[in-house]
A and B are shown apart, each in its own frame.
Chain A
Amino acid sequence: GDSVTQMEGPVTLSEEAFLTINCTYTATGYPSLFWYVQYPGEGLQLLLKATKADDKGSNKGFEATYRKETTSFHLEKGSVQVSDSAVYFCALISNTGGFKTIFGAGTRLFVKA
């Protein structure tokens, strides 16, 4: 079935460091891809999305490019802040047996001042 694999955490960075969180997927066809973020005590929030190959999603300094050839959707940010500390989830919408969003396991990010 469709699935999402993302790098294990936690990832610990100093403020202003460069961030990459890897995400690869397995799916039938060309699903829409998403990054969600979860802050402590809250539900998930949509961070960015891309709906077709070579699309680049971006928001709040984060960006990710839909790479069909490598089935990847890596999340990047050039300079992280302490406030970026959260859990990041890569996700896709699967159309196997009806539409549903499938999530990766999540990657916890800690940013130190």
Chain B
Amino acid sequence: KAGVTQTPRYLIKTRGQQVTLSCSPISGHRSVSWYQQTPGQGLQFLFEYFSETQRNKGNFPGRFSGRQFSNSRSEMNVSTLELGDSALYLCASSLETAGNSPLHFGNGTRLTVT
């Protein structure tokens, strides 16, 4: 079974630009979550989608948005990039939104904003 696939692996953007990251979950998984990982803040929850609906959202500004398609693939968009947005963005899928479903992570997209 293929794992979670994130594209691209690396991105370099300049301040003010926007970026779209893509995530394909494990087949059959309907929940997709996004996390930002930085050395200073660790893993911060961005949002979670289930059956094309955003179910939960973390404390990030509105510049961070996402969506999920009918095939469960998800995209995350960051507009008006700032230097502080440089991070590893991790996507994770799970079988369902529930209290005991573990997350299955992709290898991440490393975004560098210059």
Give A residues with C-beta under 8 Å from B: 31-32, 34, 36, 41-46, 49, 51, 89, 93, 95, 97-106
Apart from A31-B99, A102-B45, list 9 A-B contacts with CB within 8 A: A42-B108, A43-B92, A44-B92, A45-B105, A49-B100, A99-B99, A100-B33, A100-B45, A101-B33
- A32's contact among B99, B107, B108, by CB below 8 Å, is which? B99
Chain B residues within an 8 Å CB radius of A42: 107-108
Chain A residues within an 8 Å CB radius of B42: 103-106
- B103 & A99 in contact (Cβ 8 Å cutoff): no
* B43: Cβ under 8 A from any A Cβ: yes
* B86: Cβ under 8 A from any A Cβ: no
How many residues of chain B are within 8 Å of chain A by beta carbon? 25
Could you list 10 A-B pairs, sorted by A, with CB under 8 Å?
A: A36-B103, A41-B107, A42-B108, A43-B4, A43-B107, A44-B92, A46-B102, A46-B104, A98-B56, A100-B56
- B48 & A98 in contact (Cβ 8 Å cutoff): yes
- A32 & B100 in contact (Cβ 8 Å cutoff): yes
Q: Shortest Cβ distance from A68 into chain B, in angstroms?
A: 16
Q: Shortest Cβ distance from B58 into chain A, in angstroms?
A: 8
- A51 & B48 in contact (Cβ 8 Å cutoff): no
* B12: Cβ under 8 A from any A Cβ: no
Per the bound structure, the CA–CA distance linking A101 and B42 in Å amounts to: 13
* B2: Cβ under 8 A from any A Cβ: no
- A44 & B56 in contact (Cβ 8 Å cutoff): no
- A49 & B102 in contact (Cβ 8 Å cutoff): yes
Chain B residues within an 8 Å CB radius of A99: 48, 55-56, 97-99
Given contact pairs A100-B56, A105-B42, A93 touches B100 in the complex (Cβ within 8 A)? yes
Chain B residues within an 8 Å CB radius of A101: 33, 45, 92, 103
Given contact pairs A44-B105, A100-B56, A51 touches B100 in the complex (Cβ within 8 A)? yes
* B106: Cβ under 8 A from any A Cβ: yes
Per the bound structure, the CA–CA distance linking A106 and B40 in Å amounts to: 11
Per the bound structure, the CA–CA distance linking A34 and B99 in Å amounts to: 12
